[in-house]
Amino acid sequence: MRLDEYARHDATDLAALVRSGEVDPAELAACAAAAAEAVDPTLNALVGPIDENAPWTSDAPFSGVPVLSKSGHGRAGGPLGAGTRLLAGRTVPVDDVFSARIRASGVAFVGATTAPEFGLYAVTESRLHGATRNPWDPSRSPGGSSGGASAAVAAGIVPVATSGDGGGSIRTPAHCTGVFGLKPSRGRTPFEANHFFNLSVNHVTTRTVRDSAAFLDVTQGAHPGARSLIPPPSRPFSAEVDREPGRLRIGFATELAGFATAGPDSADAVGRTAALLADLGHDVAEASPGVGWAGFFDAFLRAWTHALPWSVGRLERLLGRPAEPEELEVMTWRYRRHGETVTVADLLDADQAFRAASRAVDDYFDAFDLWLTPTAVTPAPRIGDFDPSDTDETAAEYSYRVLRDYSAFTPLLNVTGHPAASVPARHGAGGLPIGVQLVGRAAGEAELLRVCAQLETANPWQQRTPPIWAGSAAGGGAS
Rounded Cα–Cα distance for residues 256 and 301 (Å): 17
Report how far apart the first and last C-alpha atoms of the chain are (Å, whole number).
Answer: 10
Alpha-carbon dihedral 455, 457, 463, 466, rounded to 10 degrees:
0
- Check if 145 is active-site: yes
Kindly name the residue from 145, 146, 150, 399 that is annotated as catalytic: 145
Rounded Cα–Cα distance for residues 25 and 445 (Å): 31
Rounded Cα–Cα distance for residues 313 and 43 (Å): 33
**How does DSSP classify residue 48?**
S
- Check if 169 is active-site: yes
Kindly name the residue from 63, 69, 70, 71 that is annotated as catalytic: 70
Rounded Cα–Cα distance for residues 69 and 43 (Å): 17
Beta carbons within 10 angstroms of residue 340's beta carbon: 12
Q: Is the alpha carbon torsion for 193, 50, 139, 325 positive or negative?
A: positive
Q: Give rounded-to-5 percent helix, strand, coil for the chain.
A: 40, 15, 45
476 torsion bin: left (phi>0), alpha (psi -120 to 50), beta (else): left
Contact (Cβ atoms closer than 8 angstroms) between residue 260 and residue 377: yes
Rounded Cα–Cα distance for residues 445 and 182 (Å): 9
Contact (Cβ atoms closer than 8 angstroms) between residue 386 and residue 402: yes
Length of the chain: 479
Kindly name the residue from 63, 169, 212, 266 that is annotated as catalytic: 169
Strand-pair category, 260-261 with 160-165: unpaired
Encode burial over 225-241: b for 16+ CB neighbours within 10 A, e otherwise: eeeeebeebeeebbebb
Query: Would you please indicate which residues are annotated as catalytic (active-site) residues?
Result: 70, 145, 169
